[in-house]
Amino acid sequence: MSIARLTQYAVGYSKAMDAISAQAQDPTLVQDPARLAIFQQQMYYAQTGYTMTARAMQDMNNEDKILAEMLRDA
């Protein structure tokens, strides 16, 4: 995965977390089923974005280890 794609995931995750944070402070959120559904969807996207970012970072770390081994063995 490229750095550009990883950055896109991180930015998307950050935006989702900002929206969630703003809405979580509103005590009337649970009284409106439509707003609550949107909030739950944003939570899902934030979790997905976090997971994808974490996996991408782990993949990049693994690739770095493999590259280091290849360079060491060369």
Give pTM, 2 decimals.
0.54
The pLDDT, as a whole number, for residue 1 is 60
Q: What is the pLDDT along the chain (74 residues), one digit of tens a residue?
A: 677 777 777 777 777 778 778 887 888 888 889 988 888 888 888 788 778 778 888 888 888 899 899 998 87
Q: SS in 3 state form for the chain?
A: CCHHHHHHHHHHHHHHHHHHHHHHCCCCHHHCHHHHHHHHHHHHHHHHHHHHHHHHHHHHHHHHHHHHHHHHHC
The pLDDT, as a whole number, for residue 22 is 81
